[in-house]
Structure 1
Amino acid sequence: MTKKATPKPAKTRGKGRGAPKKVPKKAATAKKPSQATARSRGRPTSYSDALAKAICGWVRQGYTLRQIESLANMPSKSTIIRWLGEHEDFQDQYVRAHEVQSLLMLDEIAEIADDSRNDWLERENKDGAVTLVVNEEAISRAKVRIDARKYLMEKKAPKRFGRQVAVTGKDGGPVRLTTVAGVLEEINGAGTGLPDHATTGD
């Protein structure tokens, strides 16, 4: 005796209970360009006197080349460096701009040294009394900021802020340059050291 196969219920496509849910497809989103790619678009690559003047203007205000290249309508750092090697006029303007920047740093050093707002800290003792203690961290940080500016000033304007080394001779007199032949002549003339060729017969 054969068993009759029981028919399987047909799948329903309605909104009834047990109906499969449709998963909406996610809309394709455009990938955002990287920051480097976005900044590189539209950068000027051709040299002009106007761009050179603008770059030097930012340098005089204390901007670095990395900060300048992040500004709108400014060339990249590598482009600016290439222009400095190709255009002597731009190089002269750039050097003078750094000299002006060093003068601004001189003012900044005075401002940092005179700023004593964070030099002291209030500290509560065990008995509840409040005393003032020196803020060593703030003072050390101010010293680092001053030393960094002094170093940059020496590099940016060495003729004005570079360390002057006085070179003098014996007893503060002028420097005397002497050759080896001159030294040998003095030794022979003094009758000491090397023998005189005239007396030895050599």
Structure 2
Amino acid sequence: MARPSSFNDATAEEICIRIMCGDSLAEICRDEEMPAYRTVMRWLKDDETFRRNYASAREDQGHADADAIADIAKRIIKGEIDPAAGRAAIDALKWTAGKRQPKAYGDKVALVGGGKDDAPIRQSHSFDLTTASDEELEVIERFITRRAADAGRDQSGAGETEG
């Protein structure tokens, strides 16, 4: 049987389901019944609905990665997997889960001086305040106000700002 090369909804759906369940695209494309990797890449470029479904499946794959971590940990405890190999696999899955589902599995970044009510600020090499949300601007303002008050106390030695 020849690999499919023309887009079809059933094959596209199967690809998304398998990705959502934790299979890699490379693994899926090794199946003779599935399209070649470059065919899927072409489909993603050409079909908006498939592109959206694929992106959603990749996000959902983060949950499958997190589930796989628990499975590997149990298998290490049972002696079925070498601990060093299991650790390497878990580290890779933690990274992918964190990238695919950052709110659920990503690293939390705390700002020095931030309070419990402060929302996280997006990180980038350069932070453009014109694109910051109102919530982010409020966090920045509270942080700067606290830092300025702390600096005033440090300079006066009396615990109050000079005015």
Q: Classify the TM-score, shorter chain.
A: 0.5 to 0.7
The letter of the residue matching 1:158 is P
Give the 3-state SS of the residue equivalent to 1:176 in structure 2.
Answer: helix
Q: Which has the higher helix share?
A: 2
The 5 Å alignment of 1:1-202 reads 42-115=2-75, 116-118=77-79, 138-167=82-111, 172=115, 174-176=139-141
TM-score (norm 1): 0.50
Matched-pair contact (CA < 8 Å) for 2:44–2:50: yes
Structure 2: gaps spanning 5 or more residues: 119-138, 143-163
Offset, 1:73: 2.6
Match of 1:14 in 2: none
Structure 1 89/167 Cα, relative in aligned 2: closer, same or farther at 3 Å?
farther
Percentage of matched positions with identical amino acids: 33
Offset, 1:89: 1.3
Structure 1 159/85 Cα, relative in aligned 2: closer, same or farther at 3 Å?
farther
Matched-pair contact (CA < 8 Å) for 1:109–1:149: yes
User: Which whole-Å deviations, capped at 9, do the CAs of 1:79-100 have from their partners, x for residues lacking one?
Assistant: 1112112222112211222233
Structure 1 85/165 Cα, relative in aligned 2: closer, same or farther at 3 Å?
farther
Q: Which has the higher strand share?
A: 1
Structure 1 110/54 Cα, relative in aligned 2: closer, same or farther at 3 Å?
same
Higher RCO, 1 vs 2 (CA within 8 Å, ≥6 residues apart): 2
Match of 1:37 in 2: none
The letter of the residue matching 1:144 is A
Aligned length: 119
Offset, 1:167: 4.3
Structure 1 158/84 Cα, relative in aligned 2: closer, same or farther at 3 Å?
farther
Offset, 1:175: 0.8
CA distance in 1, matches of 2:110, 2:45: 33
Which ranges of 4 or more aligned residues in structure 1 deviate by more than 4 Å? 170-173
CA distance in 2, matches of 1:148, 1:75: 27
Offset, 1:171: 6.2
Q: Which moved more, 1:73-82 or 1:109-118?
A: 109-118
Structure 1 162/91 Cα, relative in aligned 2: closer, same or farther at 3 Å?
farther
Structure 1: gaps spanning 5 or more residues: 1-40, 120-136, 178-202
CA distance in 1, matches of 2:11, 2:114: 54
What is the RMSD of the two structures over their aligned residues, measured on CA atoms? 2.7
TM-score (norm 2): 0.61
Give the 3-state SS of the residue equivalent to 1:175 in structure 2.
Answer: helix
CA distance in 1, matches of 2:64, 2:102: 15
Offset, 1:150: 0.4
Offset, 1:153: 0.8
